[in-house]
Amino acid sequence: MFVAPSILSADFGRLDEEIKAICNSGCDMVHVDVMDGHFVPNLTIGPVVVEAVAKATTKPLDIHLMVQNNSFFVDLFAPLKPKFLSFHIEEEKHPHRLIQKIRDYGICPAVTLNPHTPPESIEYLLGDIDMVLLMSVNPGFGGQKFIPSVLKKVRKLRQMIDINDAKVLIEVDGGVNGLNVRELDEAGVDVVVAGSYVFGSSDYKQAIDSLKV
Ligand code: DX5
Ligand code: ZN
């Protein structure tokens, strides 16, 4: 299991230190939540702060856009060269075009699904993307409770990926902890995002290790 701590739960007053601490504690990527106050009822960080994150990290960035007007935000964050850039399918009329735009920047495109969005909605995108991010909470805030029906969705998506022989990772984001990670692994998840579980722990290395099932 790959582990991507979400910096949403980090201490932003000591951001540089926090990023270095998770990188030195064995995380695989650094998950960055970009919220615009429109698509979700919360507002987070823009490229100025993410640039500081990019300077501090020794691990690839995984940028999760929770915004309206995806194309504008892709242009804003692409210069920071994240490994993955994901957008919400619920907010995109022309996903193929946006995926191509992300790919043209040399970034791996990923598509995110809200907890209620069926995996079939992206069946015809599976050949074009590198990762699917399944939300296991309603996007907007850290520290929410895991929605168990996402496990069924992971299994279905895993089948769809295998049938299509697609090279696509499955990432799950929201309410992930040391207790539910095993079930996620068994269902076919490749990457877990964890915010409050990692940053709320007194030992980041122990928390990250406990997710590496
Ligand atoms: C929620 C964000 C998550 C969030 C996860 O909208 O996308 O990345 O930080 O936080 P936890 O792990 O606390 O649920
Ligand atoms: Zn996220």
pLDDT, tens digit, 9 for 90 and up, residues 73-97: 999 999 999 999 999 999 999 999 9
In the reported structure, the alpha carbon of residue 195 is separated from the centroid of ligand 2 by a whole-number distance in angstroms of 8
What is the pLDDT, as a whole number, of residue 139? 98
Q: Which residues surround ligand 2, an ion (CB under 5 A)?
A: 33, 64, 173
Nearest atom in ligand 1 to the alpha carbon of residue 136 is 14
pLDDT band at 166 (very low <50, low <70, confident <90, very high): very high
Tell me the per-residue pLDDT of 44-77, one tens digit each, with 9 for 90 and over. 999 999 999 999 999 999 999 999 999 999 999 9
In the reported structure, the alpha carbon of residue 46 is separated from the centroid of ligand 1 by a whole-number distance in angstroms of 17
| CB-CB contact of 129 with 105 (8 Å) | no
Judged by phi (left if over 0) then psi (alpha if -120 to 50, else beta), residue 102 lies in alpha
Question: Residue range 125-134: average pLDDT?
Answer: 98
Copy the structure tokens of residue 51: 């640039």
In the reported structure, the alpha carbon of residue 201 is separated from the centroid of ligand 2 by a whole-number distance in angstroms of 18
What is the pLDDT, as a whole number, of residue 210? 98
One of 28, 33, 62, 130 is an active-site residue; which one? 33
pLDDT band at 176 (very low <50, low <70, confident <90, very high): very high
Q: How far apart are CA 100 and CA 159, in angstroms?
A: 25
Coil vs helix vs strand at 7:
helix
Question: Residue range 150-176: average pLDDT?
Answer: 98
pLDDT band at 3 (very low <50, low <70, confident <90, very high): very high
33 is catalytic: yes
Copy the structure tokens of residue 141: 């805030």
